[in-house]
Each structure stands twice: as structure tokens, then as C-alpha cells.
Amino acid sequence: MITHPAVGIDFGTTYSCIAYLNEHGDAVSIPNSEGELNTPSIVLVEDDRFVIGTEALKWSCVKSKQVIQNAKRHMGDSKKHWNIAGKDYTPVDVATLIIHKLLADATIKIGPIHRAVISVPAQFNDFQRELMSEAALRAGLKSVDVVNEPVAAALCFILGPEGVWFCELAESQTIFVCDLGGGTCDVTGVRYDKTKVRVFASSGDMHLGGIDWSNVLMEKIANQFRQDFGVDPRDDSESLQYLTLEVENIKRSLSVRPRAALTCQHQGYRKTYNVEQQQFEDLSRHLVDRVSSLTSIMLRDYQGDFVLLTGGASRMPMIRNAIHKATGKSPITSLSPDFSVVHGAAYLAGMLESDSEFARGILGQAKTKRARRSLLAQALGIVVRDNATQTRIPHYLIPKSTPLPATATQTFVTVIDNQKRVRLQIVQSSDTADESFEHLGKCVIDGLVSNLPKGAKIDVTIACDENAEIRVSAREVASGQQAVATLTRPDLGKDAGSKAVEKLTASRVEPHQVFICHAS
């Protein structure tokens, strides 16, 4: 029996929303105080007060230097902040403000809300999930559960009014969910039957979403305007914000019309440009190819029964056509791209309120503040030296999407005679196109036996549990000398990752002493 409102929250890069289960068990989106079901994820800082949503969007051209947007894309970046009137605001601060508005407006409609399920991209690492939970708690919730956005969309497909319902499931079936939102793209394999739903494969791009399509069109128009008038609207924050809003509107128009027009203005110059749908598709073909590639790789390795599209950017015809071509299947578009995730989160919240075993299975049997993960989001390994090129390269021991917990051991060798210590640089594969890997931290094996010859064998073991905590050990085979370290937050990234490592020695490690090579 549900005694409290069952609430789901979808904090998005460009829009956010909230939903609950009504007395009939249906997921219903809750409008904000402006009467909108979608709240723009934008904050305007004005005279020590915060304006959030559409009103902030309206003033974003005039007060562009006081506006914060797209905070979700920067979640987990320790260096990212916005300084307004001498005060810094982090992505967590921005998320807190937006979630607080969603909760405050929803409380007027359904009463006090103390607990909710909040959705996150499947590619969010453990640290980013903790930050989202922290923002929700700071916004006023007493308890938060976290669910992957593709899983939430799959739940909506299964349980919603247009879904397949459990009573119709004769056997387990597989959904591939392609979730293309404002800032991120997730392609996730979800297998479900009458007793459980589980993720069996996941891939994605944390820097691929609707705003990238907008940026492509904005760059084209700005460059054309500069050719026409000799001035660049990107040089002025207000002109740039005006163009950004115009591009966002025309992008939506081109999803339903073959052509549309937008206006660009700067330094007294003003011009209206017509854009054909085909032109837009040609400009953004490289982005579409990235979505197609993610989907094709997933379906190359796995078989599925359905392909489900969700996320606001999935409305674009070019995306639907590309997914159809890449998979050979007509994607399911019956669910709302905007609300399937938040409705699925609300369904899960309802099952948690009724203490459903099915819901516990989705989140993990042991309920903690940290959401458990079933798959490794990125490949894990160490940096080694390539003897052929004498360069430092990543060598991955545990592949991406490996079921957790996972352990792998490989043998490496020292690179010089009488090497006294080895420092293992722990890395993960990167989702960004300009980086091949990200540093997580280091583990030092010190005090090796004297006169150790070049080529001495070192066994390296990496273990990752369901909470994505990493334990690394390195053992010199002949002597048995070993060092162990635990990375409590495995995916903090290249800037903050080393802070999470338990340092085992204060000894300075010289550059020529720290590397090992893969054993031949």
C-alpha cells in the first residue's frame, strides 16, 4: 500500500520535469507554477534571488551574464562553476535550485514530498550519481533513489497505458533504448520478464545531445552573418543568446516542417535566414553518424526484440531514420520523448513505496545511499609503456560493460635493471572524442628486492564491485612483495581522481622508475 506520493524526477540538460502516480496507478506529469509540464533547466541570478525556468529563459538575452544553463552536462567536473556577482555556483548548486522548484510547485498539487526516484544517464559514473542524490537531498527530499534513464523509459514502456504490461509477457524480451536528450546519448540493452528488469549492455556519449545539433546550426548562421556584415554575433553575449534561442526554435520547427526561418541580429544589423530540413541534416550528419555508430555496435553484439526511442532530441526525423537504417527495425515512438523517463521513474517510486520485490531487484538487493550498478560504465586498466613506440598507452584489463563485480589479473614486467618501485596509473576509457583515456589515481608498489633484473614479472589485479569501487593490487612474482589501494570514487576524472586514492607511500617516484610493460 502506498502511503506517500510516489514521485519521479527527470533533471535534464535543457528541460526538467516531475511526475507522480495518481489513485489509479497511472503516471501523471505535474505542471509547474507557470502551468508547464516541462521546466527549462535555466537559472537567472538576480539581486540575491533566483528565477528558474521559462521566466529565466525569457530574460536570458537581456541578462545573459546572469544566466546559468546546461548544468547537467558539467556534473562531476570539479573545475566548472559560474561566477555571478562575485559568487560561484557549481553544477550541484544549479541542480539543487531546479529540483527545489520542481518539488515546491508539485507540493502545491499533491502535498508534501519526502522521497523520490531521480533518473540519471546510464553513462553517469558513481560520483556523478552521488552528486545528483546530493542535489535532490539539498533541495528538500529526505530519501532519494537513483535509476538509469533508459531503465526508466523501459519501465514506462512496460507498465504505461501504451505499454505491453506484464500480463502479456509470455517470456523474457529485450528492449534497446536509445535515449537522446538535450546533452547526453545513452544506448542501453534492457532485458525484462514478469519478475525483473535488468541492464545487460550499455554504451553512450556524455557529450552528444540536442544542444550539439543546435550548436552546429548556430555556427553556420553566425559564420554566414559574419560574411554578410563583417561582425560576429558570437562576440557579444546578448547577441549570442538571442541567436541560441532562435536556433532552438527553428530546430524544433524543422522536426515537423521541411523549412523554417530564423533571425540573427548584432550591432544594429539584422537578417532573416531560411533553413531547409535537408540543409540541417547535411550540417549535422557527423552527429547522426555518432548515434548510428553507438546503436550499430550494440546490436552487432546483442539481439533485441524492440528499439525504443526517447529523449526530446529523438523527435528529429534524421534520428528516427538513422536508427531504422542502423538496426533494421522500426523504432517504437509511441511513448512521449519528453515524459517516458519521468513516468518510468514514478512507476518505480510507486513500487518502492509498496516494497515491491521487483523494484528492489532493479535498484539492487542491498539498498544504500549509493545506487548499485550492474555494468561497468567504462573499461578499466593501467598505463603501460609500448616498447615499439616508447610511448605511454592505456592497457585495459576489464572491458566496458562487464557485469559487476568483476576481477582481472595480467602479468607485466619491469623496464630497467634494479627497479626499486612501480607506480600504477589507473585509467578508464573516455567518452570524449579528444581524449583516449582518463586518469583515476595511482597505486605504488615499493621496496622491491635488490638487484631485480629488467623484465621481472609483476602481477596486476583490478577488482571492481557493484558500487563501482575499485581495488588495485600489484605483486612482484619472485618476492611476493605487494601493494594494494582502493579508489572509493572510480570515475572522478582526470582532475579530481587522484584525491580519492588511499596513498600507500609518501616516497617520491621518479619518472624513469614508474612504468611497466605488458609481458610478452
Q: Which domain does 302 fall in, by range?
A: 164-333
CA geometry: angle 439, 133, 66, nearest 5 deg: 85
| Same domain for 183 and 135 | no
| Same domain for 97 and 29 | yes
Cα–Cα distance between 105 and 284 in angstroms, integer? 37
Full DSSP string of 292-354: HHHHHHHHHH---SEEEEESGGGGSHHHHHHHHHHHSSPPB--S-TTTHHHHHHHHHHHHHHT
| Same domain for 130 and 19 | yes
Structure confidence at residue 433 as a pLDDT band (50, 70, 90) = very low
| Same domain for 176 and 40 | no
Residue 167: pLDDT over 70:
no
Domains held by the chain: number: 3
| Same domain for 402 and 347 | no
- Residue ending a domain, choose from 333, 364, 389: 333
Structure confidence at residue 369 as a pLDDT band (50, 70, 90) = very low
CA geometry: angle 335, 338, 341, nearest 5 deg: 75
Q: Say how many Å lie between the first and final Cα of the chain, rounded.
A: 61
Q: Which of 70-74, 82-86, 278-282, 460-464 has the lowest mean pLDDT?
A: 460-464
C-alpha cell at 90: 557549481
- What is the structure's pLDDT at 375? 66
Cα–Cα distance between 59 and 38 in angstroms, integer? 18
| Same domain for 319 and 177 | yes
| Same domain for 406 and 340 | no
- Within 8 A by CB and 6+ apart from 337, the residues are 309, 310, 311, 312, 313, 314, 315
Residue type, 254: L
Taken as a whole, the chain contains a residue count of 520
The C-alpha cell 617516484 sits at 509
| Same domain for 259 and 314 | yes
| Same domain for 144 and 20 | yes
| Same domain for 388 and 342 | no
Contact by Cβ (8 Å): 295, 277: no
- Residue ending a domain, choose from 333, 365, 394: 333
Structure confidence at residue 216 as a pLDDT band (50, 70, 90) = very high
Q: Which of 286, 277, 289 is nearest to 250 (CA)?
A: 277
Cα–Cα distance between 289 and 41 in angstroms, integer? 27
Give per-residue pLDDT as tens, 90-140.
999 999 999 999 999 999 999 999 999 999 998 888 788 989 999 999 999
More confident site: 117 or 359: 117
459: domain CATH number is 2.60.34.10
CA dist 187 → 153, 203, 206, 307 (Å): 12, 5, 11, 10
254: domain CATH number is 3.30.420.40
pTM of the predicted model, to two decimals?
A: 0.72
Give per-residue pLDDT as tens, 17-66.
999 999 888 899 999 999 999 999 999 999 879 999 999 999 988 898 99
| Same domain for 144 and 3 | yes
3-state helix, strand, coil in the chain (%, to 5): 30, 30, 35
| Same domain for 168 and 155 | no
The C-alpha cell 576489464 sits at 398
Beta carbons within 10 angstroms of residue 85's beta carbon: 10
Q: Which of 323, 329, 349 is nearest to 152 (CA)?
A: 349
Strand partners, 457: 413
